[in-house]
Homo-oligomer: A and B are copies of this chain.
Amino acid sequence: MSKSETDAPPMVGGDGTCSYYKNSYLQRRSANVVKEKIDEEIAKKLDFHNLPIASNTFRLADLGCSVGPNTFFHVQDLLEAIKQKYEMQFHTSQIPEFQVFFNDQPMNDFNALFNNLPQERQYFAAGVPGSFYDRLFPESFLHFVHCSISLHWLSKLPEQLLDKNSPAWNRGRIHYTNAPNEVVNAYASQFAKDMENFLNARSKELVSGGMIVIISQGIPNGMLYSELQNGVMFECMSLSLMDMVKEGVVSEAQVDSFNLPFYAASPDEMTEIVERNGFFNIERMELNDPAAWLKRRINIPEWVLHLRAAMEESFRKHFGGEVLDKFFDRLTKKLSKFSDELELKYREKTLLLVVLKRQ
């Protein structure tokens, strides 16, 4: 049980203007797209008659929770649905006590998280620092796991991406969008390894009958990442950095050695990994539109603000803090230039909802 860190960035801490706390409502709206579906699965599949609940306590973990407020809204929604199911099954309003574990990497801003905790919460709260690709809890401890908009961050970059002699050397790009197959495959096999570790850890921590809900970036079977709106965004990030190389602000070697550990899986891939693991039944697996509410064109400055709150630590670590403003300004301009292309790109079914149940 060593202190585990991953290559994935922590979100911007605190609750200032540029914080993830203030700039994560788009992520929340995306996750809300699937709220009713999750409620439905809880009502149908969470079976208290077959769930071991020691000391009348129901334990839920939100893995990759960041600093709030999204985690608090999600937890509240989940607890409502879980309570309703309990009352329905036992015809009583004498519900169990709830204990909620907020997990994220040790470098997450837990001070902000704890200071943002809802004052009138109806649960006991705890924070758990560590990577969700490792064990975080004792055996048979949890009843419900929620993991929203975070499992697409890999635990680490595939090493061959940085090897100049490998066909997977990812020169001039910072992601597998528009990259050779070797790069895409390196990302895919790292995701498969990570997901396997995630499922193995959870298979120990969850009681039999316990459930996992994953909301994550996804992609339709057989589609290329470059066909997605997010693909244009990653491409614009690469192009913005290469422009900055030309200006001498960053070096080419810096760009070549930088890759975002971000991977979107397809339902087929995910199904194969879960079935190979063998500890969980797939209760639901489907792709959703992450911006179902969006009727007009994308608001690019708003989008970049959210990207920045979620990703700037990665860029800061590699390129230094002084180029951040320049980079994100340039990205906004670049994306605006590609605005028409962006609108034509695929977006609809890129939010993957996976509901699993421990056998």
> B117 contacts A101, CB within 8 Å?
no
The yes or no answer to A139 lying at the interface (CB within 8 A) is yes
A contact residues, range = 35 or more
> B141 contacts A55, CB within 8 Å?
yes
Q: Which residue of the partner chain B has the closest CB to A113?
A: B110
**From residue 69 to 124 of chain A, which have CB atoms closer than 8 A to chain B?**
97, 99, 101, 106-107, 109-111, 114-115, 117-124
With A97-B138, A115-B107, A140-B55 known as contacts, the answer to whether A127 contacts B129 (CB < 8 A) is: yes
The yes or no answer to A246 lying at the interface (CB within 8 A) is no
Residues on the B chain within 8 Å of A129, using CB: 114, 117, 125, 127
User: Which of B55, B118, B136, B138 touches A57 (beta carbons < 8 Å)?
Assistant: B138
Cα separation A55 to B53 with both chains bound (whole Å): 11
Q: Which residue of the partner chain B has the closest CB to A4?
A: B119
Please indicate which of the listed interface residues A99, A109, A114, A140 has the most CB atoms of chain B within 10 Å of its own CB. Answer: A114
The yes or no answer to A2 lying at the interface (CB within 8 A) is yes
Min CB–CB distance A91 → chain B (angstroms): 22
The yes or no answer to A344 lying at the interface (CB within 8 A) is no
Per-residue interface assignment for chain A, residues 239 to 253, with 1 indicating a CB less than 8 Å from any chain B CB and 0 otherwise: 000000000000000
User: Which of B1, B117, B119, B126 touches A126 (beta carbons < 8 Å)?
Assistant: B126
The yes or no answer to A165 lying at the interface (CB within 8 A) is no
Residues on the B chain within 8 Å of A17, using CB: none
Q: Which residue of the partner chain B has the closest CB to A128?
A: B126
With A109-B111, A119-B3, A124-B1 known as contacts, the answer to whether A139 contacts B55 (CB < 8 A) is: yes
With A114-B129, A127-B110 known as contacts, the answer to whether A138 contacts B1 (CB < 8 A) is: no
- Which A residues lie at the B interface, using CB under 8 A? 1-3, 54-57, 97, 99, 101, 106-107, 109-111, 114-115, 117-130, 135-141
Shortest Cβ-Cβ A-B pairs, 3 listed: A57-B138, A114-B129, A54-B54
